Each structure stands twice: as C-alpha cells, then as structure tokens.
Structure 1
Amino acid sequence: MDSTKWELSEPDDEEMKFEVYTNYISGLSYLLNSSYKSIVDQLTNIDLKHTILQNNQANKSEVQKFLNNSWNSERILNSPKELNLDSSFVKFANHWSPVLAYYSIFLCFQSLFLSLGWEKIIEHRSFLDKVSSLINKKRLPFIYPWTHLCWGCSYYKKEKFNFDVNLSEVNKFSPLTNPVFSNESVFIAKILRTTRRKQEEYRELIWKRGGKVKNVDGSRKKIYRLKEKQMISDNIQKTSLFDFLYRLRIRSNYEDADIFFMGTRNQATVINYFRSLTNITNYSLFFIESLIASAIGVNNFIDIANTFIKSSGNYNYGIARRIEKHIDSNV
C-alpha cells in the first residue's frame, strides 16, 4: 500500500480512541505547563514548613528506597528522550508509558507516607482511596489541579464536583476536541466524570460476578434497580486525577492495549502523547517531592536526590532537572 494514501486514510476506531486518550493527556499537560508559576506560588504560599512538621523519626533509608524506585521508573519512562529515539520506538514505548508514569507517582506517594510516619499502602484501590480522602479532608496541602474531585452516581447524571463548573458545558464537551484552552474547569470535570463512570461500571461487574444480583427465582439479573446503582456509587470514594492516571494504566496495559500499537499512525500524535505523559509525571512528582522535602527536611531530600543523580551517570531528565527547582523554591 502506498504510504501517502495510508497516512491520509480515514481514521479507524482504534485511531479515534487513541486520539481521545491523547487529547486528555495533552490537555492536562498544557494545563500544568500554563500553571507552573501558580504551582510554585501555591507551594510557597502554603508555607509547607509550618503545614507539615518535620519528622525526625522518619525511616530515611525506606524513604530513600521508594524515592529511588520512583525515579528509576520515571527514568525508564524517559528513556526515549534519553536515547534520542524516533517515533517508531516511542510508538511501542507508549504501551508501557502509562504503567511507568503511574508507578513512579505511586512509589513517590509511598515515600511521602513513610516520611510522615504513616504505613505504606501497596494495594492500589486502597491507595487511591487514601489519596482521595486526603484531598477531600484536606489532611495534606494538595494544590491545583490535584485538589479537584468528583462524586455521585453517574447513572442519574448528577455527579458533583468540589469546584465551580458549568455542567451543561461538560455535557457538550467532545473528547475529540481540546477544550482546555477555553475552559479548564470543564476539561477537568470531563476527565473526572468519565473516570468515575468507568469506576462504577467496573464495580457493577464485580458485584454481578459475585452472584449478588439475582432474581427471586435465582436467575441472574440483567438490569439493576436504581437503588442498587446508587448503593454501588455510594461505596466508591471520591474520584481524583490520580484515579484517571490509574485508569489509563489499566487501559494501556490490559483493556485497550491494542490501541497503543494499532491506533497510532500519526507520528505527531505518538510524540505528543509521550511528551505530555512525561510532563504530567514530572509535575506530579515535583509536587509530591515538595511534601517529602518538608517532612524529612530539604537538605535531607536534596542529599537523597543528589545521591541518585550521581549514580545515574549522564541522566539529564526527571529529578536531575527538578532538583534545581526544589532548591530555588526553597520548599
């Protein structure tokens, strides 16, 4: 087949799905880039030194171990940049990139928990519920956009958000557009609403498989009563952007794995997806690391980071770049 005609052919279902994922990721990346000064200002204005008291009893070797694991995961994520590889390689790296992005954030959170003297939470659903609870109850100083949450039963189309947003605009949003440029709140609300609906669908499936949904005669029910759907939703913790990243991890590695191989004909889209995801990971880690630095002491954190950087040879991404931001912000 002529390559030019192949590139200009109508997008198939796999390609359209990949475009949706890419638009969500690139939009969130754009939002973070445009909010960088705000992110630094928020961290400075919070005065973390007084919000998170330094924990001199923290097991620093354990904190360091999980930070190293987080940074190594991020380094593998960044390997196409480090090796200066072209889009043909990135296309296949994108299959694993959401897994590496999620785990680098997940492991960094484990380090944060340990730095605060808390227990690790290794089971993923429990971990995500814990993070949602921390955001909701404001037990840690989360900052925009990681503060945003969604809850409520999607079947009734009455989801609620902890930020102001025009629901009619959310309803009109198409994931094949990139609305973040015009309305950040609508964009984030759409991400959270879609993620929550998938959470509810998954919980319903588990409930069905457990044999709890049966008719009087013992046969399996095909349709839930409304109160059962509401009950399932009520038992789901409020949905955060970290749930979205976990959903992307599951989609790329299990449910929609083929999309990341077959739905990526446009090289610019391949690169955009990869760069956006590494950027989201970078900003997320910068925020979590700032909390860790406050808990164990900035100098202790910088020592741990420098030890990792020195052991990593010529690595010039991830923490190797963020370390200067941590020093400059004096968090």
Structure 2
Amino acid sequence: MIKIAVPQPDSEQTRSFRTHASYVRAFRELALGGSWTGLEAATTRLHSLAADQLYKSSRVPCGADRDQVTSCLRRAWTTASLLEATHSLAEDSEIVRLANGWGAVQTYYVLYNAAQALLVAEGHERPKQHEQTKRQFVDLWAYRTAKLAPWSLAAAHPTVKESDADGFLGGPGRRLDVSLHPWTAWQGDQAWDIAAKALRTTRAALTEDRLRKARERKLSDRRKAWLADCKTRTELGKKARSSEPRSVNLTAVERAAAEQRVRPVTVADYLYRLRVKANYEDITVFADGPASDAEAAAMASDLVDLASATLLVHEVRIAARIGSKELVRVMDDVLLRSTAYIGHLGLRRDLHARL
C-alpha cells in the first residue's frame, strides 16, 4: 500500500509568525525599498530623502538639554547594536529563532529611545511612559506636512482631521486595500496595503480595549444606581425592584463615540504590540512559528534594517536641532569606544557628516 503524506495544518504559532513577518517586511520595504536593494544604497537614498524633507527646510537652533538627547540616543544605538550583532552571529542557524523574540523587543526600544531623543531635542519634556511616547510619536510624524513612510503612516478614525475616507493619514494618495491578506505574495507598492493592515488591526485591538472599558464604566454606573435605589427602597420598607446588574451592552451611539475617541496608531504602536507578544503573550511564535531557519533569518534581517532606518530619520531631525557636527561628534565618541558599534551606525555617521 502506498502511503500518501498528509500535510499537517499550520500551528497557531506558524500563522501568527507568518502574519507578523509580512507586516515587518512591509514596514521595512516602505522605509528602504525591496529586500533586493543593497542596504548601503537604500540607506543613502533614505538619508537624501530625509535630509530634503526634514533637515534643509526646517533647520532650527535649539537650546534643548543636549546631555539628555545624547543619553537617549546612546540607549537607542546600544540596543540597535545588540540587535545587529545578534543577527550577525546567529544568521542562518536555529539560534536566530530564539533571538527573534528579543529582537522584536529591541526593535521597539530602538524606536522608543530615538523618539524620546527627538522629543527632547525639539524642546519637549522626555515622556516617562510608553503610552505617552506613542501618543507623541503621532504628533512627531503623522501630522507633519512632510511625509516619510512608514513613520508618517497612521490608522485613525475617518473623522480625524487630514485622514482619508478610510481613516488613514500619510498614505500614498490612493485607497489602501486592507482586505489584502498578509500571506499573499504581495510585492512593490502593495507594501502600503500590508503596512496599513498592520496598523488597522493594531488599532482594532485598542478599540476593543476602549469598548471593554466603556462597558465596565457603564456597568459600574448601573450598579451604583441600583445600590442607591435599593438603599432608598429599604429605608421606605420596600423590596428592590430587580436583581443586581451583571452585564450591559453599549448603544450604537455609545459604541460610535468610544470608537471615535481611539487615537491614531503608527508603526510605534505596531512595534509595541510585537514587543508585548514577545515579552508577555507568546514568545514561542518567534521560536516555533518559522517554517525554516531561512524564514526566521529573513525576519531578523528586516528587524535590523527597520531599526537602523528608524534611527536614521530621527537622527536627521535631531541634527536639524543640535547641528550635524554635534551629532557626528557624539557618534564618533561612541564608535571610538567600541568596535561593536561599527556597522549600520558607521554608515549613518558618514551620511550625517555630509549634512
């Protein structure tokens, strides 16, 4: 008898990994172009674009706390260096599967510290919490005249000012197709659609959380009213009219109001979502999800490139505030102290020296 191998269904970890690998690849491609593009050439192109939009036209002297700016940058650079070194050592081996869980966390913290450095450089107080930083990231990127994807792309409620009919800010000037499945063999301009889907699903989770809290508040109010009524009726020698409320539903108006109050979400929110998955929900997605070591290595490479690109655009804007010479001086100080930083940081340093 001939035995026919029956394909095993994908595990939950495989499905989740495949989805997030597609999302990360989309953000990476919006930042640097297709993976077939050489990293140095892609980084140089991005630097030129960022300099034209964010440096030359908006250079402003700033009296910000430069020590704090430097401290935030050093944290971002150190985290990026660890991410890059781990990928370099573990590439094309099963170790990269284990490293990707931490790599997802590191990529978020690169963005987190880079955004805080920019906020301080622009004269703001350094935010102390994740939510505050993510909220201010929206103002840093989504509401600027200059658009630089993926950082300026945001998913919002359609009523938000400057958003399109589907609630997206900073899009490519066409309707984004969020029905496109992340597992499809998408390519080229479809990176916009996949990135938009990543943001839309991230905002959906925030919306559900907002609705849950709205139901909890409504139930609490109902219970307080019921207890007050019970007390009044007891004082009058009467029985309670009904049993204690156990659940409530939101009206269509209440639900719409709650959904509208959910703020726009950006790549900062998506990377935070990935960080939560790795840190608290299911790190096995990164270890057991890839169908091959090559798939795991591809995601690791995309995380490294996205982190470096994120640093580059923030560094350009910081240079516009503290001066490119000061930024390069700080980068040189770091590069001279440790060869571990040579790599993406060295490439970006040489590009900033041309500003």
Give the TM interval when normalised to the shorter protein: 0.7 to 0.9
Indicate whether 1:145 and 2:164 are aligned: no
How many residue pairs were aligned?
Answer: 317
Task: State whether residues 23 and 177 of structure 1, in contact with CA within 8 Å, keep that contact through their aligned partners in structure 2.
Answer: no
SS for the counterpart of 1:95 is: helix
Q: How does 1:280-291 map to 2 (within 5 A)?
A: 280-291=306-317
| Aligned counterparts of 2:78 and 2:268: Cα–Cα separation in 1 | 20
Cα 1:324–1:178 shift into 2, 3 Å: farther
Percentage of identical aligned residues: 21
Gaps of 5+ in 1: none
Check 1:184–1:38 CA distance in 2 against 1; reply closer, same or farther (3 A cut): farther
Select which of 254, 258, 264 maps to 1:232.
Answer: 258
Q: 2:118 aligns with which of 105, 112, 119?
A: 112
Q: Deviations over 1:276-309 (max 9, x none)?
A: 1111111111000111111101000000011111
2:169 corresponds to 1:170: no
| Mapped partners of 2:175, 2:57: distance in 1 | 36
Q: Residue 296 of structure 1: which of 309, 316, 322 is its match?
A: 322
Normalised by the length of structure 2, the TM-score is: 0.80
User: Residue in 2 aligned with 1:244?
Assistant: 270
Q: Decide whether aligned partners of structure 1 residues 135 and 233 sit closer, same or farther in structure 2, where only a CA change above 3 A counts.
A: farther
Distance 2:45 2:251 in 1: 45
Structure 1 vs Structure 2 CA RMSD: 2.8
Deviations 1:131-161 (A, max 9, x none): 113334328x5523322222128xxxx8411
Deviating more after overlay: 267-276 vs 230-239: 230-239
The partner residue of 1:276 within 296, 299, 302 is 302
- Output the CA distance in 1 between the equivalents of 2:244 and 2:131: 31
Preserved CA contact (<8 Å) 1:95 1:257: yes
Classify 1:178/1:31 alpha carbon distance in 2 versus 1 (closer, same or farther; 3 Å): farther
How far has the Cα of 1:85 moved from its partner?
Answer: 5.2
Aligned pairs (5 A) from 1:311-326: 311-326=337-352
Q: Is the 8 A contact 2:85 2:340 kept in 1?
A: no
**Cα 1:222–1:159 shift into 2, 3 Å:** farther
**269 and 213 in structure 1: CA distance in 2 versus 1, 3 angstrom threshold:** farther
CA contact (8 A) 2:65 2:121 kept: yes
Where 2:341 maps in the other structure, the secondary structure is coil
- How far apart are residue 82 of structure 1 and its match? 4.2
Give, in whole Å, the separation in 2 of the partners of 1:312 and 1:294. 26
- Is the contact made by 2:54 and 2:320 (CA closer than 8 Å) also made in structure 1? no
Check whether the contact 2:47–2:312 (CA below 8 A) recurs between aligned residues.
no
Instruction: Say yes or no: does 1:67 pair with 2:73.
Output: yes
- Which range moved further: 126-135 or 200-209? 200-209
Measured against aligned partners, the alpha-carbon deviations of 1:41-73 in whole angstroms (never above 9, x if no partner) come to: 432332624414021x22222111111111111
Kindly indicate whether residue 106 of structure 2 is the aligned counterpart of residue 100 of structure 1.
Answer: yes
Measured against aligned partners, the alpha-carbon deviations of 1:202-252 in whole angstroms (never above 9, x if no partner) come to: 333344555746767643436433223222222221122221111111122
Q: Which has the larger radius of gyration?
A: 2
- The residue type equivalent to 1:46 in the other structure is Q
Distance 1:187 1:265 in 2: 21
What TM-score do you get using the length of structure 1 for normalisation?
0.85
Counterpart of 1:89 (choices 95, 99, 108) is: 95
Q: Is the 1:96–1:252 contact (alpha carbons within 8 Å) kept by the matching residues of 2?
A: yes
Determine the structure 1 residue equivalent to 2:27: 28
How much has 1:14 moved relative to structure 2?
Answer: 1.5
